Structure 1
Amino acid sequence: MKVIRNSRFAVSVIFAINGVVFGTWASRIPEISDFHNLSPAALGLLIFLLGLSAIVAFSVFGRAADRYGASTVTKRTTCLLIPLTLIFIAFANSIWMLVAAIIFFGAIHGGDDVAMNAWAAEVERKNNHPLMSSFHAMWSLGAGLGAGSGVLTAYYKIGMSVHFTITSIIIFLVMLTVVTIPFNSEKKEKDSKDPFISIPKGALLPVALITFFASLGEGMVADWSAIFLRSVADLSNGSAAIGFTVFSVCMFAMRLMGDKIALKFGASKTARYSGLVALVGSLIVLTFKTLVPLMIGFGLIGLGIAVIIPLAFSRAGKDKEISQGTAIASIATLGYGGMLLGPLFVGLIAEATSIKTGFLLLPILAFLIFLLSKHLSIKSL
């Protein structure tokens, strides 16, 4: 049990680091957009490239996790490559350098996401108790801290290069405390008949669709909430990041309780009512223009979609037909494809109409999560 507890600590730290990196990036998107003079469509296309590189990396890292062990792949990626993602973005002084940095960011961040979820599924099974939501709570905590650091550094006029460099150094030093924690991950040789890109099928397909809708909504809030608030509520770049901060804090709080809630009410019912909460929050965001109700709306959206992705990954990790790394990679491929299409759609819609019109996607996504919630039940195995 000591190894399991130590591994639970290591996985929790890595989820938090992954979230910090994403929140840090998201908090500085308006500044990056201004520095490179990006239009809404250009920013959407840039985030499209981020998602595309992540989707390719999902299968690569999923297979690597199966072959070399999820814990090994996760620790090495998070310690050595994740800090570089922020450094490359911070010091990209041309649009083409930024494009290269974003592609690298998407591949490494997305690959690390698959590997750490595969490791988390192993720890959850060996612990014989629901843990996935608490791991994702640490991701939300990290994302909130990352976004909060963006608010503070922007307020005190600390440059993005300094902000990102300090964050990268801290990540590397923290990883040194967990990289040596032992864990014997499951290993499986690659089947030569498997396709390069892991595509969900059968019972995993509706699970992947739910993940797609949830991640699309999460990606919209992460990548566009600051610009949405700057446009609708006329906030500054630094203050506008508070929307994603509130969203992340609410996700964190809900995910802390998510394992107990799912254990008591079941995955299906938990997801069903979560979709309704997200729907209410989306309607509030679209209705009001003042800061307080907008923060309430973003908070409810965070509460509503908080447990959807953890439930989906937990369901995939228990699949008996597909190896763990491949199953989780297949869920991520379609599920996190929302990160690929959503920001692009919002950017194009905002270019043609307004950013508020683009956010009409949020209540639609919440309703679709409500409709498909039954497929997250353990009975669907």
Structure 2
Amino acid sequence: MSSHDSTATDARVKSSYYPPSRIAVSGLFLLNGTFMGAWAPKIPEFASRLSLSESQLGLMIVCFGIGSLVLMPIAGILIAHFGTSRALRGATLVFLPTLLLLSIAPNIWWGAMAIFLFGGLTGAMDIAMNANAVEVEKSMRRAIMSSCHAFWSLGAFLGATTGGYLIETIGVLGHATLLTALAALGLAALWSLVLADAPHPAETRQKIRLPLSPLPWLIGVMALFTMIPEGSILDWGALYMRDELGASLALSGFAFGAFSATMAIMRFAGDHVRDRFGAVKTLRVSTVLAIVGMVLAGLAPNAYVAMLGFAICGVGISNMVPIAFSAAGNLPGFAQGVALSVTTVMGYSGALFAPSSIGFIAEHTGFAWVFSVLPVLLLVVLLLSKHAVHADVREKH
């Protein structure tokens, strides 16, 4: 083969690996993550503007979770009716003003409504993004879900790290207005690139109802039991290192840093790993690594060993949820989006509500015990890992 032919072949392979549909869904994951990251530095001003006590702010955060759990199933129904592309465009469009609503809410009741809509429409867009990513996986015959979640993590990082500076520089409303305008321009650029759904005649005949088959619920358990340890590390890892392992305030922050850094890196690599070794083997190895990392963190004699454990746990957990979502989205015989919404709602309920329960338990047992016991949940994921076979989308040769 001549060098010209080789270059042309490489170009075709590269373009087929990054088709417009993949760029579009990755960009929308980035957009959603940026808004979520941007919310974090707004919380103190939000609480101050509405004169919220700590308990009232806690109730506001609960409103966010309730909004997600209410609108996520509705999003699944809309996907089943209208397809992922229309649902994703619509969900993103109505999601865009939510940061502005949070910035102008004048009292507690408007604030509660705004945060309910922010959580609910974040969740609705999340369901639609994941469903469309599954469609892109089907069209490309290769995994892309992990990298989509990596773009979400990248967006959350960008939103969180720039938010404080922008709020100080151009004000709370200026920050929200700038992000909303940029997001609107991004959506306009990506609008026509979102993958139009291929017809699924066997699925469209299915009634839109809660699945009676146990399979979506079992995959939902996999997502739930993965996201509980993930949420626990994010919420309690720093406190564990500071209070029980004697870490400084600066060092304790690396509990989250080590976990999130390895998670982001491995999510960008995860699709290649899954395509190479298959979803079941990838999930099993990932789960074992997560168990080892969590146990190491829980039994750690000092903060540095715990930090290593959290880093290993990040490597393991990084691709477990994307695999579960791909498996749910590819289940045959279900109305499009319904099985995925079951899995997503179950998974995110773990991330939203379990950490508060874990904090209560840790008051009586200590976080070392909690982190040592949480791997039991990951053992259940290991036992259910054979169901990840539905996440494989590559052509069989």
TM range (shorter): 0.7 to 0.9
Task: Note closer, same or farther for the CA distance 1:136–1:348 as it changes in structure 2 (3 Å cut).
Answer: same
Question: Aligned partners of 2:331 and 2:158: how far apart in 1?
Answer: 33
What are the within-5 Å matches in structure 2 for residues 1-381 of structure 1? 5-26=19-40, 36-39=52-55, 45-78=59-92, 80-92=93-105, 94-149=107-162, 153=165, 163-181=175-193, 183-186=195-198, 194-195=208-209, 198=210, 201-223=213-235, 233=247, 235=249, 243-286=255-298, 293=305, 295-349=307-361, 362-378=374-390
8 Å Cα contact 2:279-2:391 kept in structure 1: no
Task: Note closer, same or farther for the CA distance 1:380–1:167 as it changes in structure 2 (3 Å cut).
Answer: closer
Question: Aligned partners of 1:376 and 1:106: how far apart in 2?
Answer: 28
Deviations 1:31-54 (A, max 9, x none): 767873314xx6665444323321
Question: Aligned partners of 2:362 and 2:30: how far apart in 1?
Answer: 32
Deviations 1:5-39 (A, max 9, x none): 11110001011122222333356667767873314
8 Å Cα contact 1:89-1:102 kept in structure 2: yes
Give how far 1:156 is off: 7.4
Task: Note closer, same or farther for the CA distance 1:209–1:133 as it changes in structure 2 (3 Å cut).
Answer: same
Gaps of 5+ in 1: none
Give how far 1:309 is off: 1.5
Task: Note closer, same or farther for the CA distance 1:194–1:365 as it changes in structure 2 (3 Å cut).
Answer: same
8 Å Cα contact 2:24-2:194 kept in structure 1: no
Deviations 1:103-128 (A, max 9, x none): 11221011101111111111111112
Task: Note closer, same or farther for the CA distance 1:284–1:357 as it changes in structure 2 (3 Å cut).
Answer: same
Give how far 1:210 is off: 0.6
Task: Note closer, same or farther for the CA distance 1:100–1:155 as it changes in structure 2 (3 Å cut).
Answer: closer
8 Å Cα contact 2:25-2:129 kept in structure 1: yes
8 Å Cα contact 2:219-2:343 kept in structure 1: yes
Task: Note closer, same or farther for the CA distance 1:65–1:96 as it changes in structure 2 (3 Å cut).
Answer: same
Question: Aligned partners of 1:283 and 1:7: how far apart in 2?
Answer: 40
Give how far 1:244 is off: 4.1
Tell me which of the two structures has the higher relative contact order, counting C-alpha pairs closer than 8 angstroms and 6 or more residues apart. 1
Question: Aligned partners of 2:187 and 2:193: how far apart in 1?
Answer: 10
Question: Aligned partners of 1:260 and 1:337: how far apart in 2?
Answer: 29
TM-score, scaled relative to structure 2: 0.77
Deviations 1:281-323 (A, max 9, x none): 3345445697655544443332211111111121122211102
AA at the equivalent of 1:374 = K
AA at the equivalent of 1:309 = V
8 Å Cα contact 2:228-2:351 kept in structure 1: yes
8 Å Cα contact 1:316-1:331 kept in structure 2: yes
Query: After the TM superposition, which of the residue ranges 314-323 and 178-187 deviates more from structure 2?
Result: 178-187
Give how far 1:141 is off: 2.0
Question: Aligned partners of 2:309 and 2:275: how far apart in 1?
Answer: 27
Give how far 1:74 is off: 1.1
* Larger of the two Rg values belongs to structure: 2
Gaps of 5+ in 2: 1-14
AA at the equivalent of 2:54 = L
Question: Aligned partners of 1:168 and 1:358: how far apart in 2?
Answer: 40
Q: Percent same amino acid among aligned pairs?
A: 34
Q: Count matched residues.
A: 373
